[in-house]
Structure 1
Amino acid sequence: MVLSSLEDDPRSHKTAFLQKLFDFGLGVLIVGMVLTFFPGFASAAATPGFPPEAEGGNAGEAAETLLKWKSALDDQSRSLLSSWQGGDACSRNWTGVTCDSPGVVTGLNLSSMGLRGMLGALNFTALPHLLNLDLSNNSFRGPIPSSIGNLSRLSTLNLSVNSLSQSIPSTLGRLTSLRLLYLRYNLLSGRIPKEILTLNSLLELTLSFNNLTGAIPTSIRLLGNLTLLGLMDNDLSGSIPPEICAMNSLSLLYLGANKLTGSIPPCIVNMTKLTELSLWGNYLSGSIPTCIVNMTNLTLLSLQENHLSGSIPQEVGKLRCLIALTLYGNNLNGFIPTSVGNLSNLVELSLASNDLSGPIPQEVGDLRALTLLALSNNSLNGSIPPSVGNLVNLTILLLHFNKLSGFGTLRHLKELRLSQNSLNGSTPRSIGKLINLSVLSLHYNHLSGFGTLRHLKELRLSENSLNGSIPRSIGKLVNLSVLSLHYNRLSGFIPDEMNNLRTLRHFSIGDNNLTGRLPDKICLGGLLENFTAPNNHFDGPLPKSLKNCSSLLRIRLDGNRLTGNLTEDFGAYPNLKYIDLSHNKFYGGLSSKWGCSHNLTSLRISSNNISGGMHPMIGNMTQLRVLDLSSNYITSRLPRELRGLTSLLELDLGDNKISGNIPPEIGHLSTLQKLNLGSNKFGGSIPSQLGWCRSLWILNLSNNEIRASIPSEIGNLQFLSDLDLSHNFLAGKIPQSIGKLTILEVLNLSQNSLSGVIPQSFDNMLGLVSVNISHNYLEGPIPNIKAFRYAPYSAVAGSKAELCGVVAGLKKCSGRTYSEKGNKFMILVILLIVSFILLTSLFVGAILLACQRHKSAEQDSLEAQVRGDAFAIWGYDGNMAYENIVKATEGFDSKYYVGEGAYGVVYKAKLSANQVFAVKKIHASQQDDIFRLMSLKREASALANIRHRNIVELYGYCFHPRHSFLVYEFIERGSLRRTLSDDEMATEFDWARRARAIKGVANALSYMHHDCSPPWIHRDITSNNVLLDGDYEAHVSDFGTARLLRPDTSNWTSLVGTLGYIAPSVCELAQLVICAVIYQHL
């Protein structure tokens, strides 16, 4: 009743109305005051989802920041961001910029745009609302700005595939909302910052392909939600921390290509969600944990290139989800488990380069999904099981370097490698059914005969026992790019059908018994790069298609009966690097076209019928190292343009009809090691400038018409090992300076008109092995050195004066000898001269000193050349100089000591993170320094033209008054002797690896003896001179005693090498034979 009475009262309605009006007015007043004193409140409130305390980040301010960064990029990058114009980044559709509806920048995605610049110029604090930042696959450089740590809302950060450097900033640990962090493929260094390991929201972290160092932090376990962890291809060390096993959410773990050691932690079995486990390319040891077979979700198990040992667990068949199982390059032994046949999803199975033995299990044929099967470099035996023929999807089958015999039924293959096994008999016709085969490699077996082969791209059958003729069916292989048939017993003609092979790039048929003509259209397709057919019986002209075959890189047609005019039949070959036409019947002259071959390093056309003069254009071939035109009919004079061949190592023009004087410009060939001008018609005198060729170790000027005396400058050639000046008209005395040639081995001065007494300086020539001074006018005693004591009488016979001394057949020297009388007279003369010099030197000394100080720069350069200072680099593009080597080894400090060879100490020189070299420094002993220098020079000569995977690669050499050394590749494990002397290393170096090392040395020796022309003989194969790399591959080193073996010269009778490794036949017969080197190897 009361209420109803009040509602009906008109005064109450008036009072309520006034109250509402007051409340409304008060509200308006409060709002007005807030808007007046807190203007930022309105903008903050207008953006839902962001707290009112955030300031900045509007589109206008973001646009100003981004435009400022754009201006700091290069021209090309600015053009790619041409849409960035105006003052609003959101309303104008800027490339890569994402905004929310109210106009705040929340995303920046500039991936794969080719931008270049630095991130430091971008003010990230002006972009506080960024959720996604993707700058991947560009060319940004410099450090990652620490200010990125202020982007507290960031969910995705992707800076992959750039050139960012320095360390990862610890401020990234502030990105507490981050779920995806990608920094792979950069140049980041330092340790993994522990701060980023506290980002609990992180789902994926990849830091792969950088230069990170240190151990994997144990706090990695804190990333409990991580599903992907990528640390591959860094320099991380230490062991795999067991704490990583606590990351139960991980499905992808990539730790490959680091320096991790220790064993695989057994607790890894707790990571039940793992689908891909990659630990390859580390130094992990021990056995494969048996418990790993319980990780049944694995699709990838990649453990290759470690030091794992033991057998492959038989239970591996439980991993039925596996798609790829790669265990190659370890020390695994035992049999291949038969349970591997249960892996029905397996696409790739690689067990190569282990010590596995026994047969290939039949169960391998059950792997119907397999596309690659690699079992090479093991000790597998027995025949290839027929069940392999069931692998209908197999594209690559690698079984080489085993002991397998017999073929199975193989189908659907694209690549078949069975080289270096024990296969024999005829190549089966069933191979002809491999219609998809593109690579067939059967070399180093005992096969004979061909099958019917089709659709091949590569056919390698070299070094077998194939006989008979080349089948015409090979002409049907129209896709063939590589055909290698060298070192067999093939005979007959090359079929005309070979002209159909228009895609050939490599054609090798050398060292067979083939006859007839070469295929006329062999280069009709214009792709041929390598054409080698040496040591056969081919005749007739060159193929016409070769004249315009500008793609050619290498030609070897030596040792045949080919004819043709060199001037007309050869064209211009701008890419040619090597050509050998020796021992044929080519005629004509050397045209100017050869001057266009600027890349040519070796030109050999010896033993042909070439005539005419040498064209001056030959001086344009500045890369030439070998020029051999010996045994031809070349006439006229030597062109002075030869001085342009500044890289020349060997110049052989012997046995021609070249006349005129020896040009003094030849002294500018400072790198020359062999000079043969013998058996020509040279006249005049020996130029004194020849003494500038300080690298010479073979000099032959015999059988010419050279007159005058032997220049004293010949004594400057202190590396000379062979000097032949015989059959000339040389007169006068033998110069005293010839005694400086202390390592000379062969000296022939016979059939001249030399007179006087043999200089006493001969007593210093302790390296002399063979000497001939017959048919001269020499007199007096013969020097009492080994070379004369063992010399036959014919070496001193025919002298027009009286010789006496130690040679059998000569009279003994009695009483006072010519030498003694001459010595007394010489002493008197010397005393008078010395007295005169002492008196006059006081007056002219100051003048001489002043002249010396004012010598021109050109003279200084020439003197430096004559002194023999040299630094040369072969096949290396980096920056390397004498000072860098000395600095890297701190003046050859003992802490960089690696080992010691016959003539020098080896040091490790690390010029940068990726540049590690071995430096062999010559011993500094003064007594036999010249012997060691010669050894160093001989080793440089031997390795300069040798390229083989089992021979240590030489990068360069340095001859310097202070330090002389060789620079070559660094081989990690050191010498074979070191490995065998260490119990742990010797155990690891098991029989399979030893057999592989023996094969490597044998391959190197085979290459030196048979593939080098002329052959190289090492002469000191010992365990110290065989180096082992990380994969136990053998590399032959220390060529200090190496010599060329020439079948047309006499054998050497000096004893070199290491006692205990020298063949008894050498000691007994005093002959150098290839068998002696093989003995050392055995």
Structure 2
Amino acid sequence: MYVFLLHLIESENQWLKIYFPMVFIFPPLLSKKLQPLWLLLVMYFCAFAVASSPNHDAAAASPEIASVASEANALLKWKASLDNHSQASLSSWTGNNPCNWLGISCDDTSSVSTINLTRAGLRGMLHSLNFSLLPNILTLNMSYNTLSGSIPPQIGSLSNLSTLDLSTNKLSGSIPNTIGNLSKLKYLNLSANGLSGSIPNEVGNLLSLLTFDIYTNNLSGSIPPSLGNLPRLESIHLFSNKLSGPIPASLGNLSRLTMLSLSSNQLTGSIPPHIGNLSNAKVICFIGNELSGEIPIEMEKLTGLECLQLADNNFIGQIPQNICLGGNMKFFTAGNNNFTGPIPESLKNCHSLKRLRLQQNHLTGDITNFFDVLPNLNYIDLSENNFHGNLSPRWGKFRSLTSLMIANNKLSGVIPPELGGAAQLQVLDLSSNHLTGSIPQDLCNLTLLFDLSISNNNLSGNVPMEIESLHELKYLELGSNNLTGSIRKQLGTLHNLLKMNLSQNKFEGSIPFELGNLQYLSSLDLSENMLSGTLPPTLGEIKGLETLNLSHNSLSGGLSSLNDMRSLTSFDISYNQFEGPVPNNQIFHNVTIEALRNNKGLCGNVTGLEPCPTFSGKYHNNMKRRVLIAVLPLTVAILMLALFVLGVFYHLCRTSTEEQDETTILRSSSVFPIWDFGGKITFENIIEGTEYFDDKHLIGVGGQGCVYKATLPTGEVVAVKKLHSVSNGEIPNMKAFKSEIQTLTEIRHRNIVKLFGFCSHSQYSFLVCEFLEKGDLNKILKNDEQAIAFDWKKRVNVVKGVADALCYMHHDCSPPIVHRDISSKNVLLDSEYVAHVSDFGTAKFLNHNSSNWTSFAGTFGYAAPG
């Protein structure tokens, strides 16, 4: 009650001056019963007076309330012009209090002072935003959105604006002249848009400006000299536009400037000497223009320079000798110009230097011992100059060096073995010099190397076998040397190789089948060597190969191993001894005779080649018929015998004479329906499923035979292991063949590969087993991608599976069976990474009554110690 009365006393309301005295005047004249009623009545009228009269405070605040409401309305109207996704992103923009909205901040008067909507996913234009209703904004940041259209001229009404960032949008049109009205602007960023037209000269009015970033647009015209009128400017980024004309000399007035980037434009003329007045400059970039003339000697005064980029222009003369006089230079780029003379002396011992690019000039001098050991240098490119001398062993002491490129010069001598000490080296390009000697083995210590280019020299000897340690290698350029010997099979272990060039050497012998392991290889050039023999079937396993050049060798045989190379776009096998039909690939449909000429007997539908004989199909049909006539009667006879004497089936097969051909198919109702077809269809399906064991079905090559993938008419897939045979049709290792049959017919286990059937014939001897999708463990472990997917849980399960198989053979079989050749190549994995032990050619049944001594069998390196 007393608080309320105090409020009434302090109030300036006119009605209270009338009602308030009544509280004290009339009660003494009334009876005690009526006094409380009178008091309540007076209080009611006082409250009514307060409620009905104008509020002085609200009236005083009404201009601020109106301002906030207009700001909210302006922002809400702009929000409504955006697309639905943008409006959803601004879902908090409701009501009349923008201070609580996403990206909005207000000052002490509740007026909008900051709009920060960077990376808000906005799509729309700025034209619907009434900037005149937002007079108190200090920061406007709408970067990293998808705003389009032009920048409205009304943006010049933001007289208090300190930061304007509209970068990384899709704005177009020109920069409005009204931007010069933003006298308080400190940070301007319009980069990464599609702005066009010229830079308005009015930017010279932005006297408070510290940074001026409008890079990566389509701006044209000249750089306005008025930029030199901005005394506080610290950073200018105008790169990646279409600016032309000279560099304004007025830029030399910017004594506070630390960064000046004018790269990737169309600027002409020379560097004005006034640039030497930029005493605080740390970064100056002129890359990729059409600048010419000599570098002004005044540039040597910029002792604080850390980065000077002059590359890709038309500069002439010598590089200033004291360019690193201040000892702060970290990045110096002058490549692709017309500089002459020696390397500046100040770079010799510039210990701060990290990157040095002087390539594609006319620089001269002996660089044998020019450079001191620079501890921070990680990149140097001196290629395509006229340097001479030797490669210094000192390069091996550059511990930070990742790229060393001195290609296309006149260097002589040998590659120093000490170079193998530069352990961080990733790129080594010494191509097109006059280097001699052999490839030092020590280079194979550079395990981080991914680009080795030493082609077009006079190197001799062979590739070091230790090259297999360069697991990161992607580009191997050894062409145009005098290298000899056979192509190292160790090259097949470089699984990351994308390009390999061994052309124009003196390599001989056959192409190693290990090259088929290079699954990422896209370019292979073995041309102009002395290679012979046939193409390895594994060559066709390089599915992504795009360029293949085998020309000018003495290779022979057919081209069937290339049948599945669907990615080939460039191909040359001319000047060899190849014969037979040209593969039916898309690349061969468009190939010209130049890529096939001068071979022994190629045929096909190519202009300049003879068409292949039409009787080839009849030949294959006759061959199939002969095989069936020879095999079918014996097959039926043996199967009939098997029905009556199933228990002695294998014994009869083993004791048959070598003069009598055998064809035996084991019963398996799911894969070989012999009860329905008597084995005839089974044999024929294997022959047809492998197309007479065509190389395109080849999935593996071993010491005893080749493994093919065959698809049966039922859709089931099997693996067919065809044994090698000699000229008289005999199997070189009949004992191993029979041992594998005997073992696999005696055992059945989840972790042992299943045998479905076999055929012993003078022309075809093979085993038919289950097909396991993942292939052998050895290939998985050598393939980085597959090895990553082959995690530790799967690996432990594989070990358990192999152990279970061995335990079963040793303890659950009678007599016990020992495999004698457990290796990663003989462990196959199915699609679920379940292990299956295979290849029982050396397996042995143990005799409990014998000492079981035996000669060595198995694979060296995997056999248990004696």
What TM-score range do you get, normalising by the shorter chain?
0.5 to 0.7
> Is the Cα–Cα contact under 8 Å of residues 869 and 961 in structure 1 kept in the other structure?
no
Alpha carbons of structure 1 residues 489 and 882: separation in structure 2 relative to 1, 3 Å: farther
TM alignment of 1:9-48, pairs within 5 A = none
> Is the Cα–Cα contact under 8 Å of residues 682 and 704 in structure 1 kept in the other structure?
yes
Distance 1:721 1:705 in 2: 23
Q: Which residue of 2 aligns with 1:868?
A: 782
Q: Which residue of 1 aligns with 2:247?
A: 450
> Is the Cα–Cα contact under 8 Å of residues 305 and 328 in structure 1 kept in the other structure?
no
Alpha carbons of structure 1 residues 798 and 353: separation in structure 2 relative to 1, 3 Å: closer
TM alignment of 1:286-435, pairs within 5 A = 286=91, 288-289=93-94, 291-292=96-97, 303-304=102-103, 324-330=114-120, 331=122, 333-335=125-127, 336-339=129-132, 342-343=135-136, 347-353=138-144, 355=147, 357-361=150-154, 364=157, 366-367=159-160, 370-377=161-168, 379=171, 383-385=175-177, 388=180, 391=183, 393-400=184-191, 401=193, 403=195, 405=198, 406-408=200-202, 409-421=205-217, 423-435=219-231
> Alpha-carbon deviations, 1:684-708, whole Å to 9, x = none?
1112222211222322111111122
> Is the Cα–Cα contact under 8 Å of residues 131 and 158 in structure 2 kept in the other structure?
no
Alpha carbons of structure 1 residues 827 and 322: separation in structure 2 relative to 1, 3 Å: same
Give the CA deviation at 1:750: 1.9
Q: Which residue of 2 aligns with 1:810?
A: 609
Distance 1:963 1:624 in 2: 40
Distance 2:594 2:156 in 1: 76
> Is the Cα–Cα contact under 8 Å of residues 304 and 328 in structure 2 kept in the other structure?
yes
Amino acid across the alignment from 2:259: E
Identify the range of structure 1 (470-479 vs 519-528) with the bigger mean alpha-carbon deviation.
Answer: 519-528
> Alpha-carbon deviations, 1:365-407, whole Å to 9, x = none?
632xx5433344563755544673662x543222333637413
Q: How many percent of aligned residue pairs carry the same amino acid?
A: 37
TM alignment of 1:625-664, pairs within 5 A = 625-664=426-465
Q: Secondary structure at the match of 2:360?
A: coil
Distance 2:588 2:159 in 1: 76
Q: Which residue of 2 aligns with 1:854?
A: none
Give 1:794's match in structure 2, choosing from 594, 606, 615. Answer: 594
Q: Which residue of 2 aligns with 1:777?
A: 577
TM alignment of 1:199-238, pairs within 5 A = none
Q: Which residue of 2 aligns with 1:596?
A: 397
Q: Which residue of 1 aligns with 2:387?
A: 586
Q: Give the structure, 1 or 2, with the largest relative contact order (CA under 8 Å, sep 6 or more).
A: 2
Amino acid across the alignment from 1:832: I
Distance 1:872 1:603 in 2: 33
Distance 1:784 1:388 in 2: 69
Amino acid across the alignment from 1:334: L
> Alpha-carbon deviations, 1:872-894, whole Å to 9, x = none?
99xxxxxx99859999xxxxxxx
Amino acid across the alignment from 2:414: G
Alpha carbons of structure 1 residues 802 and 474: separation in structure 2 relative to 1, 3 Å: same
Give the CA deviation at 1:816: 7.0
> Alpha-carbon deviations, 1:780-821, whole Å to 9, x = none?
44444444443322333233x444444432333437779979
Alpha carbons of structure 1 residues 866 and 385: separation in structure 2 relative to 1, 3 Å: same
Q: Which residue of 2 aligns with 1:255?
A: none
Amino acid across the alignment from 1:291: N
Q: Aligned pair count?
A: 574
Give the CA deviation at 1:682: 0.4
Alpha carbons of structure 1 residues 399 and 775: separation in structure 2 relative to 1, 3 Å: closer
Give the CA deviation at 1:323: 5.3
Distance 1:282 1:624 in 2: 52
Distance 1:445 1:743 in 2: 39
> Is the Cα–Cα contact under 8 Å of residues 359 and 380 in structure 1 kept in the other structure?
no
Aligned: 1:701 with 2:502: yes
Q: Which residue of 2 aligns with 1:684?
A: 485
Identify the range of structure 1 (395-404 vs 707-716) with the bigger mean alpha-carbon deviation.
Answer: 395-404
> Is the Cα–Cα contact under 8 Å of residues 669 and 693 in structure 1 kept in the other structure?
yes
Give the CA deviation at 1:729: 1.6
Distance 1:419 1:885 in 2: 52
Give the CA deviation at 1:481: 0.8
Amino acid across the alignment from 1:476: N
Aligned: 1:837 with 2:736: yes
> Alpha-carbon deviations, 1:552-590, whole Å to 9, x = none?
222332222222323233332332333332222222222
TM alignment of 1:162-177, pairs within 5 A = none
> Is the Cα–Cα contact under 8 Å of residues 283 and 307 in structure 2 kept in the other structure?
yes
Alpha carbons of structure 1 residues 385 and 733: separation in structure 2 relative to 1, 3 Å: closer
Q: Secondary structure at the match of 2:483?
A: strand
TM alignment of 1:105-184, pairs within 5 A = none
Q: Secondary structure at the match of 1:440?
A: strand
Q: Which residue of 1 aligns with 2:563?
A: 763
Distance 2:794 2:299 in 1: 56
> Alpha-carbon deviations, 1:226-269, whole Å to 9, x = none?
xxxxxxxxxxxxxxxxxxxxxxxxxxxxxxxxxxxxxx999xx9
Give 2:470's match in structure 1, choosing from 669, 673, 676. Answer: 669
> Is the Cα–Cα contact under 8 Å of residues 520 and 545 in structure 1 kept in the other structure?
yes
Alpha carbons of structure 1 residues 421 and 720: separation in structure 2 relative to 1, 3 Å: closer
> Is the Cα–Cα contact under 8 Å of residues 781 and 817 in structure 1 kept in the other structure?
no
Give the CA deviation at 1:768: 3.3
Amino acid across the alignment from 1:568: N
> Is the Cα–Cα contact under 8 Å of residues 443 and 460 in structure 1 kept in the other structure?
yes
Taking only aligned residues, the RMSD between alpha carbons, in angstroms, comes to 4.3
5+ residue gaps, structure 1: 1-263, 270-280, 296-300, 307-315, 846-861, 874-879, 888-959, 965-1082
> Alpha-carbon deviations, 1:281-300, whole Å to 9, x = none?
9985237446126x7xxxxx
Larger Rg: 2
Q: Which residue of 1 aligns with 2:519?
A: 718
> Is the Cα–Cα contact under 8 Å of residues 675 and 700 in structure 1 kept in the other structure?
yes
Amino acid across the alignment from 1:441: H
> Is the Cα–Cα contact under 8 Å of residues 566 and 587 in structure 1 kept in the other structure?
yes
Amino acid across the alignment from 1:868: K
> Alpha-carbon deviations, 1:33-88, whole Å to 9, x = none?
xxxxxxxxxxxxxxxxxxxxxxxxxxxxxxxxxxxxxxxxxxxxxxxxxxxxxxxx
> Is the Cα–Cα contact under 8 Å of residues 388 and 410 in structure 1 kept in the other structure?
yes
Amino acid across the alignment from 2:355: R
> Is the Cα–Cα contact under 8 Å of residues 325 and 350 in structure 1 kept in the other structure?
yes
Distance 1:282 1:565 in 2: 67
Give the CA deviation at 1:647: 2.0
Give the CA deviation at 1:641: 0.9
Give the CA deviation at 1:436: 1.7
> Is the Cα–Cα contact under 8 Å of residues 318 and 342 in structure 1 kept in the other structure?
no
Distance 1:502 1:884 in 2: 57
TM score, norm. by length of structure 2? 0.59
Give the CA deviation at 1:471: 0.8
Give the CA deviation at 1:833: 3.6
> Is the Cα–Cα contact under 8 Å of residues 726 and 732 in structure 2 kept in the other structure?
no
Distance 1:520 1:882 in 2: 57
Alpha carbons of structure 1 residues 811 and 578: separation in structure 2 relative to 1, 3 Å: same
Alpha carbons of structure 1 residues 702 and 844: separation in structure 2 relative to 1, 3 Å: farther
Distance 1:424 1:787 in 2: 46
Aligned: 1:515 with 2:316: yes
Q: Which residue of 1 aligns with 2:366?
A: 565
> Is the Cα–Cα contact under 8 Å of residues 153 and 178 in structure 2 kept in the other structure?
no
Aligned: 1:746 with 2:547: yes
> Alpha-carbon deviations, 1:643-687, whole Å to 9, x = none?
212222221211111111121111221222221211000011112
5+ residue gaps, structure 2: 1-70, 77-85, 625-691, 694-723, 745-775, 796-828, 834-866
Give the CA deviation at 1:521: 1.8
Amino acid across the alignment from 2:524: L
